[in-house]
Structure 1
Amino acid sequence: MMAFFWQGTLFLSLAAAVSVYADMKLDCRPDFVTLVWTESRSQADTSLFRLGNCFPTSLSAREAVFSVDLNDCNFRRMVTGDQLMYTNDLTYISSPHSHIHPFTHPVVCAYERPKDWYPLIYDPVFNTYGQGDLVFHIGLMNGDFSSPAESTSFPLGSFIPVMASVAQKTHQPLLLLLEECVAATTPELQPESSIYPIITNKGCLVDSKISRSKFEPRPKSSEILLSLQAFRFALGEEVFIHCKLVAWDPTGLDNAHKACHYDKEFGWELLDNSAYNNLCDCCESSCKSRKTRSVASGKHGIVQNAVLGPLTITDLNS
C-alpha cells in the first residue's frame, strides 16, 4: 500500500500570519504517522498541541512531535474512488489570555485502497441542525469516537459516547459547549416531563459527581466529546437526550461559558485548560450569565437546541 508523503510550510487560511512562523512535516506510513510541528514564536507552548485527541509523543521548546498509529488519535477513515484517506486535525489549545489564538489545521494521509476493503454499514443516530451559516451535529458514537454507534442499546453502567460539533463557513474557529443536557422519555420536553439532569448550571456535568461520566479531550475546538455512563432512568424505555449547544468565542471562557466535570480526587476541572479550574467553582452554587461576547465580526454566540435519540438503557440483572 503506497502512502503519500506530505511535507512543507504550513499555510493557514484562517490566519495567514501564522504560516510564516511555523513549519509542518508529515510522514504517512502504512500503519503509523509521524508529524513534526516546528514553531519560531517564543510565546507558543508546544505542549498545547493536539493531534486529534493525542498529546505530543515528544516535545522541545520549538517542536511538537507526534508518532502515532492510524487507529489512534481519532483518525477518520474515508474512501474516495481508489483512495483510502485518513484525516485528522492538528489543534493548538490556547489559554484565554495568550497572544497566540487557538487554531486548527487539517492532516491528511492518502493510500491506495486495498482491494479487499469494504466499509461497514451503520444506521447511526446522528442529527443535524442548521442556523445561519452554522451547522450543528450531535450523535451517538462507538467506544473510541471514531465512527457512529452500531447500536442504540446500552447496558446500565456502560458508557454512552456522545459527540457534538459545529461546522462554520465564514466564522473564526468556534468553541462548542454543552450548556445544558437532560434525559427524558419524550422527544419534546413538556412541563410535566420526567427528566434526569446530566449537564446544568451553564456547562457543569453534574452527573459526573455520582458516576464516571466525563468530558473527553477535544479533537478540535468545534467538537465536544462526552462519555456518559448509562444511568438508572427509564430502564428499558426509549430515552431522548435534550441538549442546548452553544458556539462560542474560544478565547471567551467564563463562569457561564465553560465545560466542567467532577474528578473524585481533584474536584471540578475545566475541560479546556486546567489552569482555569476556578471557572468551575460556581458548579456547587449558581453560575451567573454574563453579557454575550462577540464571536466574529459583530456576530454573537449562537445557541442551538438539539435532541439525541431514541436510545435504550438496559439492566442485565433484571
Structure 2
Amino acid sequence: MMASFWHCVLVSCLLVVSSVVADMKLDCRSDHLNLVWTDGTSQTDFSLFRLGSCFPTSFTMKEVIFNVEFGDCSFKKLVTGNELIYTNDLIYTSSPDSNVPPFSLPVVCSFERPKDWYPMIYDPVFSTYGVEDLVFRLALMNDDFSGPAKSTNFPLGSMIPIMASVEQVAHQPLLLLLEECVAATTADLQSGSDLYPIITNKGCLVDSKISRSTFEPREKSSELMLLLQAFRFALGQEVYIHCSLLAWDPLDLDTTKKACHYVKDHGWELLDNPVYSGLCDCCDSTCKTRKTRSLESGKTGLVQKAVLGPLTITDSTL
C-alpha cells in the first residue's frame, strides 16, 4: 500500500479531569498508530488506561504509550466516500480511591482511501462471549484468493471464489466449516423464498454433484476456500448467499462437523482427511446431529450466520 495514498490525521487535545490538565498526542500511520497521554501530576494511575481492548504498550510516572496496529484492540473500520476511517476509544477505568474519575475519549484516524483498495463484499464482525472473541468473515475473492474480488458480476459457468474465515484471537485453534449455504434473491430469508441449495446436511457441498464446485485445499485451519460454479438460479438478478459458519474443535469431527465435496468417479470426499471420507456417507441421506454436545455450551465451537452479496450471474448468450 503506497504511502502517497494516505492522508494522516494528527490529533492533539486537552482534557481537564478534576482540575488535572493532560495532553493526548495521536500519530496515525498507514497500518498503526502511536498514542501518548501525558499528565504532569501524580493523580493518574497509568496502568488503568485501555485503548479499546488493548493494555498500554508502556507507561511511566508521567505518561502512557500505545503503539498498536489497526488490526488489534477492536478498532472499527469505516469506508465512506474517499475516506478510510479507524475509530476506537481511549478509556480510563479509574479505581475506588482515585481522585480522577473514569472517562472515555474517541480516537480517530482518517486516511485517503488507496486507489487500489476494494472493499470486501461482506465483512461482519461478531463478538462472542464465553469462547473469547471470534471474528467471522465471508467474502468474494479474486481468482487466486489473494485479495477481494474487483467485480460482483460472474458469467454463467465461471467459478466464484468464496472465502470463509474466523479470527481466533486468544482462543484455542479452531477449524472453520460451512454447515449450510443457500442462494436467494433477498438479503433476508423469508418463509416461501425461492432458494438454491449449495451446502446442506451439515457440511455437504451438494452443488458439487451437478457442477464443478469444490472446496480448495486448506492453507489455514481457520479458513475455508470454496470455488462455486456460477449457476442458472436467478440469472441476471441480484443474488445473496446465506451461510451458517461453524468454528469447531479440529479433533472432534463427525458426520455433523465436516467439509465434504463430491469427486467425479470417486464419490464423496472429506476435505481435511480423505482417509475418513466415511463421515461423508450420509451426504446422500441425512446427517444426524449428535445430542451429547451443545454448541451453546461454548466449549468446543460456535455457529454464526452470514450473508454474502449481492452478486449477479450473467448469460452472454441471451
Q: With the length of structure 2 as denominator, give the TM-score of the two structures.
A: 0.61
**Structure 2 stretches of 5 or more lacking a match?**
1-29, 33-113
Contact map agreement 2:203 2:260 (CA 8 A) in 1: yes
How much has 1:298 moved relative to structure 2? 6.2
Corresponding letter in the other structure for 1:255: T
Q: What is the distance in 1 between the residues matched to 2:148 and 2:209?
A: 27
SS at match of 2:135: strand
Q: What is the distance in 2 between the residues matched to 1:305 and 1:130?
A: 10
Which of 118, 126, 129 pairs up with 1:130?
A: 126
Alignment of 1:150-165 (within 5 A): 150-165=150-165
Partner of 1:189: 189
Partner of 2:203: 203
SS at match of 2:208: helix
Corresponding letter in the other structure for 1:137: R
Corresponding letter in the other structure for 2:305: N
Contact map agreement 1:246 1:302 (CA 8 A) in 2: yes
How much has 1:131 moved relative to structure 2? 3.1
SS at match of 1:197: strand
Residues 298, 190 of structure 1: alpha-carbon distance in 2 compared, 3 angstrom cutoff: closer
Partner of 1:9: none
Give the RMSD, CA atoms, in angstroms. Answer: 1.9
Alignment of 1:1-318 (within 5 A): 120-132=116-128, 133-291=133-291, 293=293, 299-318=299-318
How much has 1:168 moved relative to structure 2? 1.4
Contact map agreement 1:252 1:293 (CA 8 A) in 2: no
Partner of 1:18: none
Q: What is the distance in 2 between the residues matched to 1:261 and 1:283?
A: 9
Q: What is the distance in 2 between the residues matched to 1:294 and 1:286?
A: 19
Q: What is the distance in 2 between the residues matched to 1:241 and 1:298?
A: 26
How much has 1:169 moved relative to structure 2? 2.0
Partner of 1:58: none
Partner of 1:56: none
Partner of 1:46: none
Contact map agreement 1:292 1:301 (CA 8 A) in 2: no
How much has 1:300 moved relative to structure 2? 3.6
Structure of greater Rg: 2
Q: What is the distance in 2 between the residues matched to 1:283 and 1:271?
A: 14
How much has 1:119 moved relative to structure 2? 7.0
SS at match of 1:232: coil
**Structure 1 stretches of 5 or more lacking a match?**
1-78, 82-117
Corresponding letter in the other structure for 1:171: H
Question: Aligned residues, how many?
Answer: 203
SS at match of 1:282: helix
Q: With the length of structure 1 as denominator, give the TM-score of the two structures.
A: 0.61
SS at match of 2:308: strand
Residues 225, 255 of structure 1: alpha-carbon distance in 2 compared, 3 angstrom cutoff: same
How much has 1:124 moved relative to structure 2? 3.1
How much has 1:171 moved relative to structure 2? 1.4
Residues 193, 298 of structure 1: alpha-carbon distance in 2 compared, 3 angstrom cutoff: closer
Residues 279, 124 of structure 1: alpha-carbon distance in 2 compared, 3 angstrom cutoff: same
How much has 1:265 moved relative to structure 2? 1.8
SS at match of 2:125: strand
Q: What is the distance in 1 between the residues matched to 2:218 and 2:294?
A: 22
Q: What is the distance in 2 between the residues matched to 1:298 and 1:268?
A: 30
Partner of 1:17: none
Q: What is the distance in 2 between the residues matched to 1:298 and 1:184?
A: 30
Contact map agreement 1:129 1:306 (CA 8 A) in 2: no
Corresponding letter in the other structure for 1:123: P
Partner of 1:74: none
How much has 1:273 moved relative to structure 2? 0.2
Contact map agreement 1:239 1:310 (CA 8 A) in 2: yes
Q: What is the distance in 1 between the residues matched to 2:293 and 2:149?
A: 35
